[in-house]
Structure 1
Amino acid sequence: MSECLAPTEYGELDILYQDENFVAINKPSGLLVHRSFLDKHETQFAMQMLRDQLGQHVFPVHRLDRPTSGVLLFALSSKAARDMNQLFIEGTIAKRYLALVRGFAPDSVFLDKPLKEELDKIADKFADQNKAPQEAQTQFNCLYQAALPIPIGKYPTVRYSLVECFPKTGRKHQIRRHLKHLSLPIIGDVNHGDNQHNQFFRDHFELRRLMLFATELSFVHPYTNIAITIKAPLGHDMLQICEQLGWPNEEKDY
């Protein structure tokens, strides 16, 4: 089952930051970063769309999963891409995400749980199937909780939390898998989530996306040595859901 909506025309990309070396966009949920032979039917990709929008080549320096929205950074030259990639390798770039999860999250928890690499049956057909788990660490902080008097399954109420996520490593689906391990699956996560609650959000909130948002990317600029923080808004739909759950509906509160 797909984690995304049917093909959508995204229009012009929202540019969050730009200088002579780098540009960051607010990637919509459902948009692929670049072409993939696993998604041959797709016609829109963030990399090509941004290239056409700026009229110059762009170079990806990291990635976001297709259903995740938020800050996506590109370099404007191959050298800038190499230098920014080095910062990612060194772990000096801070990433902040927000996730809407099922259940009441603890106030704060640091999860240090190695993850075995998730391999695709087609793309990773020849990869080592017995590769040892890789180090994976994430800090989670609960911002808000809500309970609704609606029975799902054997429980008389539904409980949800908004969780701040700071991955210290960059494993595939790290935040999703770590939250699942904590019994706090992300709403809209088809592969690691709770299908009953995913269906509840589709029925009651008309929500059909993964509720994971890359809200901030912070780093020291490799050429100016200036501290940069790039932020992406949650968007009107998510703020409406926050309001219905009794949480603030202003971007400044997140």
Structure 2
Amino acid sequence: MTTSPVHGRGRPARRPSVSVVVPTLNEERNLPAVFARIPADVEVILVDGGSVDRTVEVARELRPSIVITQQTRAGKGNALACGFAEARGDIIVMIDADGSTDPGEIDRFVAAVHGGADFAKGSRFREGGDSYDITPLRRLGNRGLNGLVNTLFGTRFTDLCYGYNAFHRSVLDHLDLPSIDAPAPAGGRLWGDGFEIETLINIRVAAAGLRVTEVPSVEAPRQYGESNLNTFRDGMRVLRTIVSEYRRNAKRSRVATPAPVEAPVPLPVRPAGAAEPAGERRAA
């Protein structure tokens, strides 16, 4: 099934409203630079994971109109689900609070959705994209996992594990994310609550037959603090997600999917003063 809720006869004449969901955990020092580049006319939803610094206070000082909510369990996936539940915009954008995803690119992601895509998927490895943060090991792992998804699901993704995405709010009906009201299990997380969330969303969007557009994006290094990502642990969660989603889709006879379409959006510019990233740029 292919749906296109923001284009064709059904496209609204008005400019779509936009909600930007920002998960946080002790990001007080990163917020000023991130918030300075978020467009003024969008709804910003900050989902806090129990910060012990002044993340929430700084967010309110920087953007008095901000919507702040606490996530209900642990993990980035749960934080995003909580933010999606609060979002009121026609288009929802996912960015990180550490400065790695450039809010200056939001308009291009929104333009891709408003121009015909159901889901605008950020890619560091499509022409015009880049990364100044990914390590050689993570690049290799992403390439292998990306290739596995393309083989199993008939997609042509170039970047599987990147969290900069935008989509029409109707896409939420296809994601079937864990309920934010469900109690946490003994381990603290339900499946989909962790960093596997990007992979889960990408696969379910493709399996639903929605129109996917890859948008080249430049990933910057984290400005302050340390990442909560663990290469091996979270890599295994992504692998398990791929296998479980393949089995899930096989049962529903929905493995065949359309290839993503490249949107006619401007390419990003390398941040001023940024050094050439180590290693050769590759298309995964």
The TM-score range, normalised by the shorter chain, is 0.3 to 0.5
Which structure has greater strand proportion? Answer: 1
Higher Cα Rg, which structure: 1
After TM superposition, the score normalised by the length of structure 1 is 0.33
After TM superposition, the score normalised by the length of structure 2 is 0.31
Which structure has greater helix proportion? Answer: 2
Highest relative contact order (Cα 8 Å, sep 6+), 1 or 2? 2
